[in-house]
Amino acid sequence: MKKESKINLFDLDRVLEILQVFLTNPFRTFLSGLGVGWGLFMIVVTVGASNGLENGVTSEMGGRVKNSMFLWSRMTSMPYKGFKRGRRFEFNNSDTEFLRENATSIKLVAPRNQLGGHRGSNNVTRGTKSGAFNVYGDVPGYIEIDPVKILSGRYLNQGDIDNERKIAVIGKRVLELLYDKEIEPIGSSIQIQGVIFSVVGVYSTYKTGEDAEEDNQSIFIPYTTFGKSFHTNNEVGWYSLLMDENVHADTSAAEVMSLLKQRKSVHPDDKRAMGSWSMASEFEEVESLFAAFRLISFIFGGLALLAGAIGIMNIMLITVRERTKELGIRRAMGATPLTVMRQIMSETIFLTTLSGLMGVSFGVASLEGVNHLLESMGGSGGSFRNPEVSLYTVLIALGVMLVMGVIAGILPAVRAIAIRPVEAIRTE
Amino acid sequence: MEWYLRGVIKLNNIGKSYVTGSQKLEVLKGLSCNIKKGEMVAIMGSSGSGKSTLLNILGLLDSFDSGDYLLSGESMSGLNERAAAKYRSKLLGFVFQSFNLIGFKTALENVALPLYYQSIPRKKRNVIAMDYLKKVGLEDWASHLPNQMSGGQKQRVAIARALVAQPKVILADEPTGALDSVTSSDVMTLLREINADGITMIIVTHEHDIAALCDRTIHLVDGLIDLS
Ligand SMILES: Nc1ncnc2c1ncn2[C@@H]1O[C@H](COP(=O)(O)OP(=O)(O)OP(=O)(O)O)[C@@H](O)[C@H]1O
Ligand SMILES: [Mg+2]
């Protein structure tokens, strides 16, 4: 006897056979596939939406470097070494040197000072024009912590710091408000609280949303010049720090804090004496939120998928019963139980996969549609941007669905092979 | 399997009963008979005498409880479904009273079905199936669905399907039962022609003139062969 043909996973003959069966009742085939299609559609759309939200939020955070941290002094809340609680203390330039030498998990220490702000009175003038802007005293390294795009001219450099040059790098919005269109800003001068600075560069922010506006209305001047011109002298407003990527943000924060507490005679357990904010923990928070979103959409989508798979199983059970005679004829014509089982399994898996792929396609198409819409609206959908699903997500969803297809096929297939040819062929 | 045994059927004391609920119905009570290679045999008997039961056992569509069945010299006792399917595919062809064509398949596809289960490629399958449709005079009906054909035509498609895998034995359960007398005699002429090629033929029938066209008749009475 001829050996059983080898099991080809994709055999045109078998696919045609399956298609023929489906086409005998196309409407029912469509309906039974609907559940699974819907499940995958849901997964793709909800995962895509939560990705869109995530993309929106991270883009609002802009190109801000993930391992950056901000640190400022507040008021002590515990008595220590003869000091009473409620003592105010400030950081100064020698603390900066101390941190640079001793904090091993810190790559870059950038002391900062700030003047004014858009809520304050006008502090910057040029000829007859004036405006209220944030003015920062910065070191050149700060651009690594909070990157900006230099549109013309240059950023601060070490020479500016060493020579206490009276130069300024101004934001795009500052340029718009203080200059007429045709005027070249580089080399021109502005007055910041009466002190004349010469403009050496114009920048714009990478951020979007509200933060962007604020950022573009700022002016950077050398840290040393700031101290001299605005009499902050030795004082440091706050620190921007760049941490070693290989050390967890919390660990390096703890190191810096304990170094500074010791140096400033603050109780080691005093949690309120210094404030800090790190991008990493912010990111972690946002990321865990979105991970939860994704999990939820997978659970709900998975339940929808499960319902769909059960639907397919039911339909297949009904179909098998209706096709008792046909299956009996096939058996009489030489089909082995294995062939019949394979046929029913293939039909179920084929149906699940086909409807699943349809669901995925419609889901991806919807996301693309929304994307298109957002772009045509000017690219800014607020906190929602670029909804998308990774191929990986789609593959996982399809994989889960395939497994469900197999499970859904088992019972109908077992029913099908339990049909004895003689029962099937009997004419009543 | 020896060539001279191909198509030979030996039944030895075959017993078969059906159990429904608490009732046991003994249909075949130790039936024995021999059918030679190339013979054309009619099986007759009153309704419920067990003709279909016997034919289904011969066709390996149903199992038997006791005795032995030798088909082409090999014992068919205690076959599993898979082995039975293999024998069916290789040695047996079926013709039924109600044709048992698959409704959503064309005449050609129906005829080609046994070849599909022998894993013969589609092109080759269709060529062979077409040959057999020609043999039964239905080449022009190849692409028609069963419900577009008359009873006689359907039965001829079923006969082509029974022949397509070149069986040694054809089992026909009242092949003319649903046909008028003219079509019946056409079908019988066809079956005789096929038998002339050396295929063993067993036909269950109620009609004496059909049985008269066969080499001999086996009468079933009360689960046994009536030798009187
Ligand atoms: N699956 C079954 N379960 C129970 N009883 C059955 C079954 N199949 C057949 N029978 C019984 O066995 C007996 C023989 O049935 P069978 O179909 O072989 O008769 P038959 O000779 O072909 O009759 P007919 O000429 O009416 O076709 C009948 O009494 C029938 O009721
Ligand atoms: Mg009968």
Q: What is the pLDDT of residues A171-206, one digit of tens each?
A: 999 999 999 988 899 999 999 998 999 999 999 988
C-alpha pair distances (Å), A353 with each of A34, A174, A366: 11, 57, 20
Strands (E), A139-237: 148-153, 167-171, 189-192, 195-205, 218-222, 235-236
- Predicted pLDDT of residue A4: 44
Rounded to whole angstroms, how far apart are CA atoms A201 and A185?
8
Kindly state whether residue A252 falls inside one of the protein's structural domains. Answer: no
Any idea how long chain B is? 228
Residue A2 and residue B119: Cβ atoms within 8 Å?
Answer: yes
Q: Which of A187, A211, A229 is the last residue of a domain?
A: A229
Residue A378 backbone phi and psi in degrees, to 5: 105, 15
The amino acid at residue A101 is E
Q: Which helix (H) or strand (E) holds B19?
A: strand B9-20
Which of A333, A417, A419 to mutate: most B Cβ within 10 Å?
Answer: A333
Structure tokens that stand for B156 in this block = 């001829």
In this prediction, residue B58 carries a pLDDT of 95
Q: Which residue has the higher pLDDT, A7 or A422?
A: A422
Question: Which atom of ligand 1 approaches the CA of B220 most closely?
Answer: 21
Question: Which residues from B are below 8 Å from A when comparing CB atoms?
Answer: 56, 59, 61-62, 81-82, 85-86, 88-90, 94, 96-98, 100-105, 113-114, 116-119, 121-122, 161, 165
Q: Residues B10-49: pLDDT tens digits?
A: 999 999 999 988 999 999 999 999 999 999 999 999 999 9
DSSP code of residue A3: P
d(CA B122, CA A343): 17
Which residues face A220 on adjacent strands?
Answer: A136, A169
Does the pLDDT value for residue A26 go beyond 70? yes
- The residue among A104, A85, A82, A101 whose CA lies nearest residue A93 is A101
Take residue A69 and report the two structure tokens written for it.
């941290």
Give the pLDDT confidence score for residue A386 in this predicted structure: 73
**What's residue A372's pLDDT?**
82
Rounded to 5 degrees, what are φ and ψ at B43? -115, 125
Q: What is the structure's pLDDT at A167? A: 95
pLDDT of A275 > 80? The answer is yes
Backbone angles phi, psi at A91, to 5 degrees: -85, 150
Q: What is the DSSP string of B45-104?
A: E-TTSSHHHHHHHHTTSS--SEEEEEETTEE-TT--HHHHHHHHHHHEEEEETT----TT
Q: What is the mean pLDDT of chain A?
A: 85
Residue in this structure with the two tokens 């030795």, named with its chain if needed: A234
- Could you give all domains of chain B from N- to C-terminal order, each with its CATH number? 38-63+81-225 (3.40.50.300)
CA dihedral A228, A234, A237, A238 (to 10 degrees): 130
d(CA B48, ligand 1 centre) in Å: 5
What is the CA angle A395-A401-A404, rounded to 5? 150
> How much is the pLDDT for A5?
46
Does A3 reach chain B within 8 Å, measured CB to CB?
A: no
Are A209 and A293 members of one domain?
no
Q: At B151, list the tokens.
A: 């009873």
Which of B46, B49, B63, B222 to mutate to test ligand 1, by most ligand atoms within 8 A of the CB atom? B49
Residue B88 is predicted with a pLDDT of 92
Partners of residue B89 in chain A, C-beta under 8 Å: 333-334
Decide: helix, strand or coil at residue A140: coil
Residue for token pair 């950077």:
A220
pLDDT score at B125:
94
**Same-domain status, A288 and A406:** yes
DSSP letters spanning B100-116: ---TTS-HHHHHHHHHH
With CA atoms as reference, report the closest residue to B221 among B75, B49, B21. Answer: B49
Query: Do A420 and A288 share a structural domain?
Result: yes
- Which secondary-structure segment (H or E) carries A281? helix A279-322
Beta strands in A223-379 (DSSP E): 235-236, 238-243, 274-278
pLDDT at B205: 94
- Would residue A19 count as lying in a domain? yes
Report in angstroms the alpha-carbon separations of B148 from A122, A203, B93, B216: 93, 81, 24, 36
Least confident of A157-171, A173-187, A378-392: A378-392
Q: What is the pLDDT of residue A7?
A: 47
* pLDDT at residue A191 in the model: 93
Residue % of chain A over a pLDDT of 90: 30
B81 → closest Cβ in A16, A20, A336: A336
Q: Based on the domain organization, do A21 and A127 belong to the same domain?
A: no
pLDDT (tens digit per residue) in B194-218: 999 999 999 999 999 999 999 999 9
Boundary-marking domain end, from A212, A229, A246: A229
The pLDDT value given to residue A82: 87
> What is the three-class DSSP state of A278?
strand
pLDDT reported for residue A3? 42
Range of the domain at A187: 117-136+143-229
Query: Is residue A253 one of the residues assigned to a domain?
Result: no
Show Cβ contacts of residue A393 under 8 Å, excluding neighbours closer than 6 positions: A43, A44, A47
Per-residue pLDDT of A95-116, as tens digits, reads 999 999 998 888 899 999 998 7
Q: Which residues pair with A189 in a beta bridge?
A: A198
B112-171 per-position pLDDT tens digit: 999 999 989 999 999 999 999 999 999 999 999 999 999 999 999 999 999 999 999 999
Residue A252 burial (10 A CB sphere; 0-12, 13-18, 19+): buried
DSSP A385: -
Percentage of residues in chain B with pLDDT exceeding 70?
A: 96
Give mean pLDDT, residues A323-343: 91
Q: Which tokens belong to A206? A: 């990478």
pLDDT band for position A220 (50/70/90)?
very high
Compute CA B149 distance to the chain's CA centroid, rounded to the nearest angstrom. 22
User: Does A93 map to a domain?
Assistant: no
| A213 and A315 co-located in one domain | no
Whether residue A341 is contained in a domain is answered as: yes
Q: How many domains does chain A have?
A: 2
Distance from CA of B228 to the nearest CA of A (A): 31
pLDDT bracket for residue A393 (50, 70, 90):
confident
**Average pLDDT for A78-102:** 90
**Looking at the predicted structure, is the pLDDT value of residue A119 above 80?**
no
A388 and A310 in one domain? yes
- Scanning every residue of chain B, which has its alpha carbon at the shortest distance from the alpha carbon of A24? B104
Tell me what the mean pLDDT of segment B172-181 comes to.
91
Task: For chain B, give the mean pLDDT.
Answer: 92
- Residues 6 or more apart whose CB falls under 8 angstroms from that of A137 comprise A112, A113, A114, A115, A221, A222, A223, A224, A225, A226, A227, A230, A232, A237
Confidence of residue A6 (pLDDT cuts 50, 70, 90): very low
Tokens of A9: 């996973």
Q: Are residues A299 and A409 in the same domain?
A: yes
Residue at A75 is within a domain: no
- Which amino acid would we find at residue A223? Y
A123 and A34 co-located in one domain: no
Q: Burial of B118 by CB count in 10 Å (0-12 exposed, 13-18 middle, 19+ buried)?
A: middle
Domain annotation covers residue A234: no
Alpha helices in A217-278 (DSSP H): 223-230, 249-263
pLDDT of residue A380: 55
The pLDDT value recorded for residue A122 is: 76
CA angle A364, A365, A370 (to 5 degrees): 95
What's the confidence (pLDDT) of residue A10? 56
Predicted pLDDT of residue B53: 94
Amino acid (1-letter code) at residue A171? G
DSSP state of A184: -
Q: Is residue A275 part of a domain?
A: no
Report residue A276 as tokens.
Answer: 């800090």
Domain boundary among A194, A213, A229: A229
Count the Cβ atoms, other than its own, within 10 Å of residue A308: 28
In whole angstroms, give the CA distance from residue A22 to residue A43: 26
In chain A, positions 323-382, which contact chain B (CB-CB < 8 Å)?
Answer: 325-326, 329-339
The span from the CA of B94 to the CA of B100, in Å, is 10
**What is the distance between the alpha carbons of residues B171 and B41, in angstroms, rounded to a whole number?**
10
**Residue-wise DSSP of A330-347:** HHHTT--HHHHHHHHHHH
- Quick one: average pLDDT of A318-342? 91
